Structure 1
Amino acid sequence: PTAPVVTSDLTGKATTTDPVEVTTDPNTKVELLDKDGNVIGSGTTDNTGHVMITPTKPIPEGNVTAKAYDNAEHPNSSTSQPKKATD
């Protein structure tokens, strides 16, 4: 899949569960990861390639990345550039 992009501004979002917008290919599973690689939310993009992911736990301070998975039998993945979350 195309490398996803975290399009939300995460300034002031650390310690919140505010939804985070990610863009990549349409109908693609996307996971939101904290700086340690732990999944903090997931979703599937719509037919325009956008998804709003509501974190399942507060966004930790530091870099957040998104990882997209295609629908192949052995899924391929690609990871976004980090986006820094601050409080």
Structure 2
Amino acid sequence: MVKEFERAGYPIVQMCNLIPVAKTVGANKIVPTISIPYPLGDPNTSKEEQWKLRHHRVGVALEALTIDVKEQTVFKVKK
């Protein structure tokens, strides 16, 4: 589906934790997430830490939308 949106002219960033799958389906801009049940959070941390984590990852994804890539790119995030 990501490729179809890109062909239609929409910029897409796929946020996922299964990076090999995202590469296989052809996503060009990939931002890693935490886990399947909690892609943008970690229930073992405080609400403040979860907010910081979400804010950072969504910020990376928004920045990735502005970058022109020629090949599949996995954007770096803080651990």
Structure of greater Rg: 2
Looking at secondary structure, tell me which structure has more helix per residue: 2
Looking at secondary structure, tell me which structure has more strand per residue: 1
Greater relative contact order, per chain length (Cα 8 Å cut-off, separation 6+): 1
Flag whether TM exceeds 0.5 (same fold). no
Q: TM-score with structure 1 length normalisation?
A: 0.29
